[in-house]
Amino acid sequence: MDVSRQPNLSSLITRSQNLAPSPGSSQIPSVSLIPSIPSHGVISTARLITGAALIIVAVFSGFAMGDLVMFQQMGFGVAVALLIDATIIRSVLLPAAMRLLGTWNWYLPSWLQWLPKIQIEAEPRRAASAS
């Protein structure tokens, strides 16, 4: 597989934002489009998240098999927490919550409008011409 075609977090966020309506618009996505947004996220990142989770679980399982009790507890706790996060939360609960919430996923309360709008893959600004 071409390395440049592998999904990363910034492309996932940008793709989800492109599928979703812009915050200030009155455009409501079609009912058939709403389920495709979380599905795209799960499909495009499943291998990446699972691979990273398995590597980290293997590392912390090594700590859990060590001799020091403190490292055993830490290794076991982190390995179990990461397995729960990578499997149950990211693969089941998050897509289900996104499907249930629909357009409310991108709701921003008015008291948070002061936050800067960060666009990871935004088009570069053009320099103002000195006329």
Residue in the structure block whose two tokens are 């859990």: 64
* Token digits of residue 52: 């990273």
Task: Write out the chain's pLDDT in tens, 131 residues.
Answer: 444 444 444 445 555 556 655 555 545 454 445 556 666 767 777 788 888 888 999 999 999 999 999 999 999 999 999 989 888 888 788 888 888 887 787 788 889 889 887 777 767 777 666 55
* 8, part of any domain: no
DSSP 87: I
Evaluate if pTM is beyond 0.75. Answer: no
* 95, part of any domain: yes
* 60, part of any domain: yes
* 6, part of any domain: no
* Token digits of residue 93: 């609960």
Question: Of all residues in the chain, what percent are helix, strand and coil, respectively (each to 5)?
Answer: 65, 0, 35
* 92, part of any domain: yes
| pLDDT score recorded for residue 65 | 92
Give pairs for 71-75: CB < 8 Å, separation 24+: none
State the residue range of the domain holding 76.
35-102
| pLDDT score recorded for residue 20 | 58
Look at the chain and report how many structural domains it folds into: 1
- Contacts of residue 49, defined as CB under 8 A and 6 or more positions apart, other chains included, come to 86, 90, 91
Angle ∠(14,31,17) on CA atoms, nearest 5: 10
